[in-house]
Structure 1
Amino acid sequence: MADAQIILAYGRDTGIVAIGHGERYKAAHEALAAADFRRGDDWVFHLPGVDEDASRATVANLVRHATAHGAEVVTSSHRFIGDTARDIARLLPGQWDVRIELYSHPVWQQDLVPWLWDSGELVRAVQTQRIPYAATLTDTAETTLLLVERPGHQLGYLVGAFAPEPFEEGYGDPHAPHSIALPPFAGRAARGIADRFLPTYERAVHARRIATVAEALARIHAEQDAWAAIIASSRHRNAPPLGEAAETFLNRAWAEFLAIAQHAPVLLDRCRPAATNWPGDARVLAELADALTDAEDLDRDASLTLTERDARLRAVLGTWLTHSEPFLRQARAATPPRQQTVPAAALPHQALPRGQHAPRR
């Protein structure tokens, strides 16, 4: 692949579009500007609306300018990815915002790797194949999908997800869902996302929430054991002052509890103890929910003395440590809400149109 390349594709509303990329992508941009292509706000170059003969002449002119700038001009077998992403988004349940992503320099696409929450083909492609551009689809719940043309295929796409915001980076996470391949049909692609990928994604988010809470509870247990050891050794001359040790324990335990406060409410809301083998856990779950409310009140109630605050914090931590096992078994038995599917009536039967070849000289 040339170190400066221009990819031509066809946009439904914009006609011929062009994307420059490579280590010398600026040379590609200079060639496009010299050939009268105009750069949009998304950094995609567009050929102003002209007739077919004029388009043919302009593209021929672009090839000459590209050669002079040391850039290669190629034509995509796909249509413009922005059109594809918008067609799919319109068929997905809910509201989705589409944005175009350009990775003009090859190293830029590596910025995706830490944030991609994927254990399938997509993350491998981003790491090993050239991905000059992509589209993101984000819904109102801030689920963000990444759509790319499938490397090595004339048609077809890959879709995966970024890590949910509360989890920050997602690379290498064992709970990450698998990206899936999509066909070049808007309706079938949307159904694949709605029926296959999004349910898998939601289950993965659910499992990662459980793991996050379980890990936080384990660390609080460890802090409590360390605190108990300090109390047991308090009679020794070299033991730290109990007041200082108590403050350290509570500060560390509270820092860990913040993850529980963030993820446990969603998990509690999904628990249905009556449908499990442990219906008696309903009382325990109610106590845990009340403890979360008490924890929220601690931050809002400025009238509490330090002693009162510490006592209530200990009570909250004690409730969650005591009932961690029934909570985790109920959370693991729970399931995320079922995503809506794409109605069959909304599925067009025609394929997404292939990218139109740019006129040749």
Structure 2
Amino acid sequence: MSPSSEITLYRAHDKIVALPSGTGRRWAETALDLAGFTENHDRIHTLALDDQAQARQALKHLHQAARDCQVAVTTHPRPFLGDIAEAIALALPGHWRAAVEPLREQQDQHYLRDHLWETGTLHGLLQKDGLGFAATLRDGGGTELLLAERPSDGSYIVGALTPSPDYVRVTAPAPRSVIASDARLAARFIQTHLLPEYERAVHLSRLDEAEEDLRWAQVSEAGTYDTVDLEAALYRFRTHATAFIATLRETTPLPVEQAVFLDRVEDGLNLDGLDDPDPEALADAGAVWLIDGEELIEMARAATPPASVTPARPKALSTAALPLPAVAATAPGPRR
């Protein structure tokens, strides 16, 4: 009778990582427990290598327990993906964190696939192949990337996860995934190709959403719209305006009149108090939105680099915003 479950062993820099899988996964987990593997909060089983003799004994026990439980044991030929992800995170500028995503079932892969921005190679990989593990890379500012290993050749592919719709509704073409043979090259391609495309796509999506909300507010007559929808649209615009103004100041030599305009809009929109519920402040911000919003959008759109240019990643284009207030988080907004 062929085993209904399998244990795949991955060699990490200071431990052995085991991934149980298959319809009889509980038997595989039992074998790992009997052998002395430790299960962490992510349900990843590990065996420390600080005591080599003890580790060898545990592996011997694992193979014995696996035979008794009719579980197959295989060793993955490549380094543990978590180590690759950590190396990439350390090589990227800023403060990136890596997290391992165990893929025990095909539905785990499908969950990640559904959050990918690009429907290309990485999307197909998550749809068809049993990967074992994937890893996420997060910069703390809202940017999330997904790392996976391609079984066909052992190379690594990194793609962007779609930003949360609470931050921006993406409308721009997705940034393209990058493929590299090792962590060093992956970090370089992420920095020079993936992140600039990602930031440009987020910037264009912000512009589209800000323009759509402004047009809706301008043509809506008083009493014909829901107040909650209007406040949600204003909040989105103020959030996007924060990114537009910061980007314009950092990346564009501004004439004096434009610098004065940005100062006035920033003050009028009360961008330092995005979560301020004061009705008078919101009324003032709404007036500035309707009067000066179009010019701000035009300035931000004019400063958008062409697709062929890969500039340094401006901090102002982070997808993250301040936490959404209840009205913006729950309101459907003017989605027409």
Q: Normalised by the shorter chain, which TM-score bucket? A: 0.7 to 0.9
For 1:99-248, what aligned pairs fall within 5 Å after superposition? 99-153=99-153, 155-165=154-164, 167=166, 174-184=172-182, 186-224=183-221, 227=222, 245=223, 248=225
Other structure's SS at 1:118 match: coil
Residue 72 of structure 2 aligns with which residue?
Answer: 72
2:217–2:290 CA contact under 8 A, matched in 1: no
Please list the CA deviations of residues 62-118 of structure 1 after superposition, one character each: whole Å capped at 9, or x if unmatched: 344334434332221211112111122222112222222212232123222343233
Q: Structure 1 residues 209 and 40, CA, compared in 2 at 3 Å: closer, same or farther?
A: same
User: Which ranges in structure 1 are unaligned for 5 or more consecutive residues?
Assistant: 228-244, 341-361
Give me the CA root mean square deviation: 3.6
For 1:340-351, what aligned pairs fall within 5 Å after superposition? none
Please list the CA deviations of residues 298-327 of structure 1 after superposition, one character each: whole Å capped at 9, or x if unmatched: 94546x5xxx976x466234314xx52x33
TM-score, normalization by structure 2: 0.75
Residue 326 of structure 2 aligns with which residue?
Answer: none
CA distance in 2, matches of 1:135, 1:183: 16
Q: Structure 1 residues 217 and 333, CA, compared in 2 at 3 Å: closer, same or farther?
A: same
Could you tell me which amino acid in structure 2 is paired with residue 191 of structure 1? Answer: R
Count of residues in correspondence between the two structures: 306
Residue 321 of structure 2 aligns with which residue?
Answer: none
CA distance in 1, matches of 2:10, 2:252: 56
1:223–1:253 CA contact under 8 A, matched in 2: no
1:106–1:132 CA contact under 8 A, matched in 2: no
CA distance in 2, matches of 1:6, 1:162: 29
User: Which ranges in structure 2 are unaligned for 5 or more consecutive residues?
Assistant: 306-310, 315-336
Could you tell me which amino acid in structure 2 is paired with residue 257 of structure 1? Answer: L
Q: Structure 1 residues 187 and 64, CA, compared in 2 at 3 Å: closer, same or farther?
A: same
Instruction: For residue 285 of structure 1, report the CA deviation from its aligned partner.
Output: 4.9
The structure, 1 or 2, with the larger RCO (C-alpha pairs under 8 Å, 6+ apart) is 1
Other structure's SS at 2:266 match: helix
Please list the CA deviations of residues 31-71 of structure 1 after superposition, one character each: whole Å capped at 9, or x if unmatched: 2222332323443222343547962x654543443344343
Other structure's SS at 2:74 match: strand
1:175–1:208 CA contact under 8 A, matched in 2: no
CA distance in 1, matches of 2:216, 2:48: 61
Q: Structure 1 residues 162 and 339, CA, compared in 2 at 3 Å: closer, same or farther?
A: same
CA distance in 2, matches of 1:271, 1:105: 46
Could you tell me which amino acid in structure 2 is paired with residue 207 of structure 1? Answer: L
Q: Which has the larger radius of gyration?
A: 1
Other structure's SS at 1:43 match: coil
2:168–2:209 CA contact under 8 A, matched in 1: no
Could you tell me which amino acid in structure 2 is paired with residue 108 of structure 1? Answer: D
CA distance in 1, matches of 2:72, 2:106: 16
CA distance in 1, matches of 2:99, 2:72: 26
Please list the CA deviations of residues 229-273 of structure 1 after superposition, one character each: whole Å capped at 9, or x if unmatched: xxxxxxxxxxxxxxxx27x46553333222111112211222379
CA distance in 2, matches of 1:138, 1:292: 30
Percent sequence identity is: 30
TM-score, normalization by structure 1: 0.71
